[in-house]
Structure 1
Amino acid sequence: MPYQDVFPKFGELDLVLPPGFSDVSHSTHAMPTFNMVLPNGNVLRLQIDFEDKALSKFPNQPRFCLSVFSAGGIRMHDDIQNNSWIETTIIVRGLQEFHTVHSSNREP
């Protein structure tokens, strides 16, 4: 279900998602959620909180949260959270291409 249907107060994204992310937002999520399947089948999940923290369920948390799950749905590391979209896209690229510590080729 598109995030605009689940989170109508969110509005349009104020950023451009890297290629490969698909909208998997659901009413059970706290914020818009997007997944990307990494080269080995693991899933990179990006959650984007409301820019207006008054609408957020987690107003004291950073706006962007990245998680990597195995193909079987097991979380593979602690969430990577920050408020910088530029830093978030650099981390996404590292997870996709450079096989960093939290990389797509890490065994569960």
Structure 2
Amino acid sequence: MSEQPPDILDVTPDGRYFVTRGRLWRMSNPSLDPDRREQLVTELMAARRDVKAALAAKDAIALRRARSAVDRCKRALGERGPVWWDDGAPDYNRHMAVNTPYAAWFEGLAV
């Protein structure tokens, strides 16, 4: 099980997802080199700022580029794209927890 970041309230017992408003979101690949992870997170935050700026400017081309940069970073972090685990378990990213094998665990959380 991976260490739980302080800003994430509920992480599945296997450390693959965190839950926000009942939805599962894939965690970053825990085997990433810490320096590489830091670099990718820095790039991700910059890309998210670029999305915000493009939306404010109503610049469709800049928005498309910024969203593409966000996607590239999230894929490199392992939060999107192919799963980072190798046991053949399916990906439940973005699924409602109650509709997955994590339902009993989720129901047992203090709300």
Query: TM-score when scaled to structure 2?
Result: 0.28
Structure showing greater relative contact order (alpha-carbon pairs closer than 8 Å, 6 or more residues apart): 2
